Structure 1
Amino acid sequence: MSLTRLVIHQLRNISSADLTFNPKINMIVGANGSGKTSILEAIYFLGLGRSFRSHLTNRVISYDHKAFTLYAEINKRNINIPIGLQKSQNGETLLKINGSHANKLAVLTQHLPLQLLTPESYTLVSGAPKNRRAFLDWGVFYHDPLFYHNWTRIKRLLKQRNAALKQCKTYNELQVWDNELCLLSDEISAQRQAYFDLLIPLINITIADFLPEFSITSKFFCGWDKKNKSLQDYLTDNFYRDKQLGYTSAGPQKADVRFKINGLPVADVLSRGQLKLFVYALRLAQGLFLNSFNNKQCVFLIDDFSSELDQVKQQLLAKHILKSDAQVFITVIEKDSIETLFGQERTVFHVEHGKITVE
């Protein structure tokens, strides 16, 4: 699977562009502020329906325009799938896939699996648990077809339960939500654990290559201590605490993946450059897993490839990227810095003030 064509209209400083991509390596070269990252942002929109740079649509739309429009063609097992996406200043979203209107942005994810790596990627391990939960759920989404349905039901139940916490006086009033919530929580925790157990060997192999000087352990935490008591017991025992907090304090919405070195969180041991390498290893392992176990091809978006990486680490990263056999989009300020790392099977795009030319 690969993204073969991308048409952009009025996204940030790119007023119009029609790009044909290489199925392997695509280098996007330009100075800071030229618009090169906006190309990655456009691709990200087509994979997830949102930006990785801003949650405000009006900041993404070109100045003095009412909407931005994207059109793409995806080659999937030699079948061409057209995708169109438009987002307006008034919040309206129009989505068409293969000529038909789609109502949910979640369907985009099925067609274009993406892994994004940016200079801020280290926040995956140094930031809040929701970052690592999102990392894990990305993989479970593709691995287990029942996961998305279960997770949407859990989110709905939690929303109802949290609203009820503010009104009810006794725990019995929550029982109608908790019966289903506990059942689904056990299911989704088992789905996450099963995927995590399969992914860990690939993660360990990749980390050993990237950071051989460290012994890193990984553990999945489901969101409550299952060894001590069931989620039902946690919900019952924590009723008054949850009521005071205004939200449910235990459950799959609190799940985490914990990475440690000698018992300490990796963020407390590794430098920022090492953390970036560690996250690259995690993302690459997920991409390889998707290709090996799920017969799908992940697309990698790498912003500012050479940032905080010395030449040796850049060569190592390039080796793993080529090994993944995935389609890759890489932004750099100067192509000379990485030109020799990826061989000849590549296309180079030059971006200047939102104008894009092909080398």
Structure 2
Amino acid sequence: MPIKSLHVQHVRNLSDVRITPSPRINIISGDNGSGKTSLLEALHFLGMTRSFRTSQFRHLLQSGADNCLVFAQIDPAGKGEQHPLGVERRPDGDVRIRHAGQTLGLSELAQLLPLQVIDSDTFQLLEGSPGVRRQFIDWGVFHADPSFIQLWRGFRRILKQRNSLLKCGKIDPRLRRVWDREFVTYAERMTALRARYIELLKPDFETTLSRLLGGVPVELKFSQGWDRKTPLDELLEEGFARDLKQGFTGSGPQRADLRVRTDGQSAAERLSRGQKKLVVSALKLAQGALFYRLNNRPCIYLIDDLPSELDEQHCRLFCQFLEETSNQCFITCVDPGALGGFWLPQTDVSRFRVEAGMLTQID
């Protein structure tokens, strides 16, 4: 079980909340605005030092508070151990991450506490920009291959430098060739890892989707960000005049995308709202299944308002899938009885009720 206990201070309307969650399924109910989603934000803050709902930390911090603190006892490897993990952030942006007496960086924290979020914004995997889908891919590659984070950082540094040179308007051809060689080297290695990951993900996605949305064929196709038929160094040379005019690099892995199609058309255009929720949920659940297979440990799922957009049958199927995994799940809903009859008697389910920022466990 990744999280054995949780203590939240000054996250939105949660002044001082302590819970001992189930290792498997945790259902948090409450009226709109009561603070149930804030608890999920606190868990996300613990693993990522930020909210999944807003990029502005001031909106996460409780009004009048001078810091935001989330503390937990965790067992990330599932060995029956307990290690303290604390994340604190102040309005000036200062972040402190401490685990078992050691200070961690953000990438080390993300590796320690792998999080998956399923909420209304998860629809952006179908409807949003390619950048959203690149983040989805890169989360998986980050956890699948230890070398990826250094490749990603190196590529971002080179891309930033090349774009800076393009914006200057005048570039020494010899200097450009040096940066282009580095650009191509990092780009090809990053792309190979991304492409391999999508191929690994496809079987899990197809299996999950067939259970949640049987009879609707959905295809995943990785787009690397440039024409496969032409070497990237040639494309950079051919497109230099255009890049110089635009002030940024037009070809490369910074343009990669994940195409999600059904019957040869965009799934975002073809599917109903409920079908879209099942497709994006299948993508997230498949990532968790693949993560478990590659790392031999579960993820933590933060699922906001699960019954929304789903009928009772599909909600039951979703819960059955969660029940069969080893993941620790935190699920919010308005009605405490909405998810009550979907679990087997032997499943470890804890239920909590949130009212005005106060959390109580219910039978």
Letter in 2 for 1:187: R
Q: C-alpha separation between the residues in 2 aligned to 1:245 and 1:157?
A: 18
Contact in 1 for aligned 2:49/2:95 (Cα 8 Å) = no
Instruction: Give SS of 2:121's match.
Output: coil
Superposed, 1:328-347 pairs within 5 Å as 328-344=329-345, 345-347=348-350
Q: Is residue 308 of structure 2 the alignment partner of residue 307 of structure 1?
A: yes
Q: What secondary structure sits across from 1:291 in the alignment?
A: helix
Which residue is 1:100 aligned to? 102
Q: Which residue of 2 aligns with 1:204?
A: 206
SS of residue matched to 1:337 = coil
Give per-residue Cα distances to partners, 1:149-207, cap 9 Å, x unaligned.
10011011111111111125244432222111101111111111111111111111111
> Which range is displaced more, 142-151 or 211-220?
211-220
Q: Say which SS state the counterpart of residue 135 (structure 2) adopts.
A: helix
Matching residue's letter, 1:83: L
The answer to whether the aligner puts 1:351 opposite 2:357 as a matched pair is: no
Aligned match of 1:163: 164
Q: TM-score, normalised by structure 2?
A: 0.95
Alignment map for 1:93-132 (pairs within 5 Å): 93-102=95-104, 104-132=105-133
- The alpha-carbon deviation at position 284 of structure 1 amounts to 0.7
Structure 1 window deviating more from structure 2 (74-83 vs 2-11): it is: 74-83
Superimposed CA distance per residue, residues 105-134 of structure 1 (whole angstroms, 9 cap, x where no aligned partner)? 121111111110002311111110111111
Q: Provide Cα deviations, 1:307-332, integer angstroms capped at 9, x if missing partner.
A: 01000000110111111121100001
Aligned letter for 2:253?
Answer: P
Paired residues for 1:233-312 under 5 Å = 233-312=234-313
Name the CA distance, whole Å, in 2 between partners of 1:80 and 1:286: 26
1:90 is displaced (CA, Å) by 1.3
Mapped to 2, the partners of 1:258 and 1:166 lie a distance apart of 31
Distance 1:73 1:240 in 2: 55
Aligned to 1:56: 56
State TM-score, norm by structure 1.
Answer: 0.96
Q: Secondary structure at the match of 1:341?
A: coil
Please say if 1:41 is aligned against 2:41. yes
Query: In 1, Cα distance between the equivalents of 2:341 and 2:310?
Result: 16
Q: How many residues are matched?
A: 357
SS in 1 for 2:337: helix
1:32 aligns with 32
CA distance in 2, matches of 1:73, 1:237: 55
Q: Measure, in 1, the Cα distance between the counterparts of 2:205 and 2:176.
A: 40
Identity rate of aligned residues, in percent? Answer: 37
Partner Cα distance (2:314, 2:97) in 1: 40
Asked whether the 8 Å contact 1:4–1:73 carries over to 2, the reply is yes
Could you list the runs of 5+ residues in structure 1 that have no partner in the other structure?
none
Inter-partner Cα distance in structure 1 for 2:9 and 2:324: 34
Structure 2 CA distance, aligned partners of 1:172 and 1:261?
46
1:2 deviates by 1.7
CA distance in 1, matches of 2:352, 2:335: 11
CA contact (8 A) 1:25 1:342 kept: no
- Bigger drift between 209-218 and 302-311 goes to 209-218
Aligned to 2:71: 71
Distance 1:274 1:94 in 2: 41
Note the C-alpha offset of 1:5. Answer: 1.1
User: C-alpha distance in 2, partners of 1:199/1:83?
Assistant: 30
Task: State the secondary structure of the residue aligned to 2:249.
Answer: coil
Is the Cα contact below 8 Å between 1:40 and 1:329 reproduced in 2? yes
Aligned to 2:182: 180
Cα shift at 1:295? 1.1
Q: Cα offset for 1:333?
A: 0.7
Distance of 1:205 and 1:346 partners within structure 2 = 25
Corresponding residue SS for 2:341: helix
Q: CA deviation at 1:296?
A: 2.2
Q: Which residue of the other structure, out of 181, 189, 192, is the alignment partner of 2:191?
A: 189
Q: Distance in 1 between matches of 2:253 and 2:55?
A: 25
